[in-house]
Amino acid sequence: MPFKKWSGITRRGLFKATAVTGVTAGAISILAGCSHPGDEDAEAPVIVDKNKAHYVINPETNESVYSVTDLPISEDKTYNLPLGSVLRPGDGDWLAMTSVGTTSKPAILGAALSVSAGTVSNVVTSTVTDDTPSIAIFDVRCSDSTYAWVEMDLLTKSWALYAAPFSNGELTGKSTTLWKVNSNWDPPRMAVVGDKVIWQVMPSKTGKKTTENSRCYLWKLGSSEARVVVESPGRFATGPEVSGNTVTMSPRVHASKGVFYGITAYSLEDNLKTVVDQLVLPQSVNPMFAVRIGEKFVFSIEASYAAGGLLASMGTYIGSSDGPFVVLPREPAAEVAGKDGLYIVKSRSSYFVIDTEKERYSTLSAADRTVDYGDFPARDGECKTFVSFATVKDATTGYPASVAVRTFQL
């Protein structure tokens, strides 16, 4: 197939495989065309009057509007992981995580935790890019059948994205090079679901490609080709967030009219070809996280803007383009998970567990002796089992000692 020039790099040159010690990585090509180009038509911006909000807590008086109730979920299992372990969101039994290596090559390992069993497996114990201390495993994601990871050169900030088949805590086949590029491009925000890897490539704010469009790619395990599924004329505001049968992200839209972001849910069933729903925010309003749970968007705004109505105020929102919106007016801190009208929203050292159908909420406290800002979610979007993790202190010394993982059945 023909390869086109893009930003001074040929497609063939970009994905040329290199021989490395220990692991062989194949390479892929990119199909021509894009399912959703940057100039695709988008919905009109949604402007909502502030007095039409359904607040969980009144932002002016700080009094509860929803009734306060006992926690509707209970702790199911707890695990202790080594200090330095960081879990990444996923929707399967296995959750990708990084852990501290025993040597400097690499200093960080790609690992995985079985939520049901509590076992941790080291998955990527040597780097594909090069066997030098400057190459680090930067980020990881997995499903129960696919594992993806980013390797970065800490000196040059160049990076590469790899993926491999995965089962029962170990790689079961050769890795594939999905992307390899220099520091002009930010490390990818990515998601893995089933046998699919979805990742965004955006120009770095400090690089030489700042005028280039951003693109989101999809690759299926075992394929020799990936495709461009979404193009953004500028940076994406949010990374790909998987929930049920959708992937939600926020490309720029209406680029000729100003800076607008369209929170958009795409169908996983046809590899993101179909737009399931879209909500375009007021001009200049930048979402922090966005996902679709059931028939509602759940998104976070981390700052308040001078204009734009309700959706231009800091907080977490639950609703659709035709409204109404349930609002938690608290500074957002992480992705939101939930199921069937129940939403778990992180806020500093605890979580709000919000039941929008019964208009009530409760508080899920962080693990005991948690350091600083408490638990972080290891689930994003629809889930049956909510998972959180937190660095906790030793009761005697007061120093950080381990990472506590908790699971809750929804």
pLDDT means per 10 residues, the chain with 410 residues, are 33 32 63 90 91 94 97 95 97 97 90 98 95 94 99 97 98 97 97 99 95 97 96 97 98 96 98 97 98 98 95 97 93 96 92 97 91 86 97 92 96
The residue count for the chain: 410
Q: What local confidence, expressed as pLDDT, does residue 355 receive?
A: 98
Beta carbons of 410 and 383 less than 8 angstroms apart = yes
Looking at the structure, do residues 161 and 239 belong to the same domain, yes or no?
yes
Question: Do 234 and 98 belong together in one domain?
Answer: yes
Residues 191 and 165 in one domain: yes
Q: Please provide residue 312's backbone torsions phi and psi, each rounded to the nearest 5 degrees.
A: -100, 15
CATH of the domain at 211: 2.130.10.120
Residues 374, 389 contacting (CB under 8 angstroms) = no
| Residue 387 forms part of a structural domain | yes
Residues 105, 66 within the same domain: no
- Among residues 399, 389, 344, which one has the least CA distance to residue 367? 389
> What is d(CA 242, CA 258) in angstroms, rounded to the nearest whole number?
28
Kindly state whether residues 145 and 186 are assigned to the same domain: yes
| 180 in any annotated domain | yes
Rounded to whole angstroms, the Cα distance separating 116 from 168 reads 12
pLDDT at residue number 39 = 84
218 & 319 share domain:
no
Quick check: is 340 in a domain? yes
Q: Report pLDDT for 217.
A: 98
Tell me, yes or no, whether 220 lies in a domain.
Answer: yes
Residue 131 burial (10 A CB sphere; 0-12, 13-18, 19+): middle
Looking at the fold, whether 303 and 387 belong to one and the same domain comes out as: yes
In a domain, 21, yes or no: no
Which residue type does 118 have?
G
Write down the pLDDT at residue 25.
59
What pLDDT, on a 0 to 100 scale, did the predictor assign at position 15?
Answer: 34
Range of the domain at 100: 92-243
pLDDT at 239: 98
Cα–Cα distance, 104 to 15 (Å, whole number): 27
- Domain final residue pick, 184, 216, 243: 243
Does residue 338 share a domain with residue 209?
Answer: no
| Domain boundary residue, one of 243, 270, 285 | 243
Q: Does 80 lie in the same domain as 136?
A: no
Structural domain includes residue 362: yes
What is the structure's pLDDT at 22?
32
| Strand pairing report for 225-232 and 214-220 | antiparallel
End-to-end CA distance of the chain: 48
pLDDT of residue 105: 86
Q: Which residue has the tokens 């000196």?
A: 155
Kindly report the backbone phi and psi dihedral angles of residue 31, in degrees, each rounded to the nearest multiple of 5, phi listed first: -70, 145
Residue 348 maps to a domain: yes
> Is position 16 within any domain?
no
The number of domains in the chain is 2
200 and 341 part of one domain: no
Whether 226 and 364 share a structural domain? no
Domain match, 96 and 226 both: yes
